[in-house]
């Protein structure tokens, strides 16, 4: 039957969909982790930007502090890039999951259609057999009735 031939393919498609779902979950987790790192860096940069009174800090420490702030800002920019990259990867995986889900759904609908068609054909076959059996019984009864009428003079 055609529907049974689709079962192995349907199983493979469902496994592909499950794999895509796991990958989406992993990408979402990685994205969340990178976003949290970015937020931590931003908070730290804001806290560090609240400079102490310039009169109480030596020029050498002030230069070091400014250099560190520059490096910290560069780290924030770099982390924002990492977050964007992870967001793109997450979007790609969501799209793959969507496509896998659609493919699986189409295949499931096709298998359901084949099963419905096979069921209809089976029901028609059973009905024909019942009709044939009923017709044979009717002919047998008719022949028996004809024999009884001919046997009785």
| Highest-scoring range by mean pLDDT, 20-29, 61-70, 127-136 | 20-29
Percent above pLDDT 70 for the chain: 94
- Is the pLDDT score of 13 beyond 80? yes
The CATH number for 113's domain is: 1.10.287
Query: What is the pTM (predicted TM-score) of this model?
Result: 0.68
pLDDT higher for 105 or 150? 105
pLDDT of residue 23: 96
Q: How many domains, in total, are found in the chain? A: 1
- Is the pLDDT score of 122 beyond 80? yes
CA dihedral 20, 26, 29, 34 (to 10 degrees): -110
| Residue-range definition of the domain harbouring residue 54 | 2-151
- Is the pLDDT score of 11 beyond 70? yes
Q: Which tokens in the block code for residue 49?
A: 């930007």
Contact criterion met (CB below 8 Å) for 20 and 97: yes
pLDDT single digits (tens) 126-140: 999 999 998 888 888
Contact criterion met (CB below 8 Å) for 44 and 68: no
- Is the pLDDT score of 5 beyond 70? yes
- The set of residues, in sequence order, having a beta carbon less than 8 Å from that of 79 and lying 6+ positions away, is 34, 37, 38, 41
- pLDDT band for 2, please (50, 70, 90 cuts): confident
CA dihedral 88, 92, 93, 95 (to 10 degrees): 140
- Is the pLDDT score of 73 beyond 90? yes
Q: Which tokens in the block code for residue 67?
A: 């250099």
Rounded distance between C-alpha atoms, residue 87 and residue 77, angstroms:
15
Give the dihedral sign, CA 97/99/102/107: negative
- Is the pLDDT score of 35 beyond 90? yes
Q: What is the mean pLDDT of residues 34-46?
A: 95
Phi, then psi, of 125 in degrees rounded to 5: -65, -45
Q: What is the mean pLDDT of residues 95-104?
A: 95
Q: What is the mean pLDDT of residues 73-93?
A: 97
């Amino acid at each position: 039957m055609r529907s049974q031939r689709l079962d192995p393919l349907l199983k493979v498609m469902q496994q592909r969909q499950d794999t895509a779902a796991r990958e989406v979950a992993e990408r979402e987790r990685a994205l969340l982790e990178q976003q949290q790192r970015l937020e931590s860096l931003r908070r730290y940069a804001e806290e560090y930007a609240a400079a102490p009174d310039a009169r109480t800090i030596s020029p050498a420490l002030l230069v070091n502090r400014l250099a560190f702030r520059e490096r910290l800002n560069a780290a924030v920019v770099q982390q924002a890039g990492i977050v964007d990259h992870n967001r793109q990867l997450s979007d790609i995986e969501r799209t793959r999951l969507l496509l896998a889900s659609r493919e699986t759904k189409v295949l499931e609908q096709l298998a359901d259609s084949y099963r419905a068609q096979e069921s209809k054909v089976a029901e028609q076959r059973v009905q024909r057999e019942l009709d044939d059996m009923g017709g044979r019984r009717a002919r047998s009864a008719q022949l028996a009735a004809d024999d009884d009428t001919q046997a009785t003079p």
